[in-house]
Amino acid sequence: MLDRSSRGVALTWRKASRSLDKSDCVEVAALGPSVLVRDSRDSAPSVLALDPAQWSALVNAIQNGRLDGR
């Protein structure tokens, strides 16, 4: 959950360079120690805030194919 005091803070959202011409991916931004994640197609309503350990675990799971849905 995001702290309401962070509303109005200008964030720099990034997405993978391979996805720059597509809209079906996620975007990430840093806010203090947190990594924020949102859907690039629907950026307004929902943002997931991950602490450094959660972000590391997510990246590790993606890199190791544990989230491929197979």
Torsion-angle region of 66 (φ positive above 0: left; ψ -120 to 50: alpha; else: beta): alpha
Dmax over Cα atoms in the chain, in whole Å? Answer: 40
DSSP 42: S
Q: What is the pLDDT of residue 58?
A: 92
pLDDT digits (tens, 9 = 90+) for 9-18: 788 989 877 7
Task: Check: CB of residue 27 under 8 Å from CB of residue 9.
Answer: no
Q: In the predicted model, is pLDDT for residue 2 greater than 60?
A: no
pLDDT digits (tens, 9 = 90+) for 38-70: 887 776 668 899 999 999 999 999 899 988 876
Q: What is the pLDDT of residue 43?
A: 62
What pTM, to 2 d.p., does this model score? 0.72
Q: What order do you get walking across the sheet with 26-31 strand by strand?
A: 26-31, 34-39, 48-50
Q: Where are the domains of the chain?
A: 4-63
22: tokens are 């597509």
